Amino acid sequence: MSELVKNEDFYLLENGLMVFTKKYHLKRGYCCKNDCLHCPYSEIKDKKRVDNLKESASDHLK
């Protein structure tokens, strides 16, 4: 992967910690399972979970 670009791939918190952006995570291409703040892959996982809950709920209403 290419060199990281500040404020595009990451930003720094006041305490000096580096936070990766959603854009960086997408560029990287996979979830590292570290519960990153801007992880787009957790959104996908959460959406699937919500969809499954909706399916389950609609099955009970039939």
User: Is residue 19, in this structure, part of any structural domain at all?
Assistant: yes
> So what's the pLDDT on residue 27?
93
User: Is residue 14, in this structure, part of any structural domain at all?
Assistant: yes
47 or 53: whose pLDDT is higher? 47
For residue 48, pLDDT over 60 is answered with yes
For residue 7, pLDDT over 90 is answered with yes
When divided into structural domains, the chain yields a total of 1
- Mean pLDDT, residues 39-45: 76
User: Is residue 36, in this structure, part of any structural domain at all?
Assistant: yes
User: Is residue 1, in this structure, part of any structural domain at all?
Assistant: no
Q: Provide DSSP, 1-62.
A: -----BTTTEEE-TTS-EEE-HHHHHHHTS--SS--TT-HHHHHHHHHHHHHHHHHHHHHH-
User: Is residue 3, in this structure, part of any structural domain at all?
Assistant: no
pLDDT, tens digit (0-9, with 9 covering 90-100), for 51-62: 655 565 555 454
For residue 13, pLDDT over 70 is answered with yes
Domain extent at residue 20: 10-61
Backbone region of residue 33 per phi and psi (left: phi > 0; alpha: psi in -120 to 50; beta: other values): left
User: Is residue 34, in this structure, part of any structural domain at all?
Assistant: yes
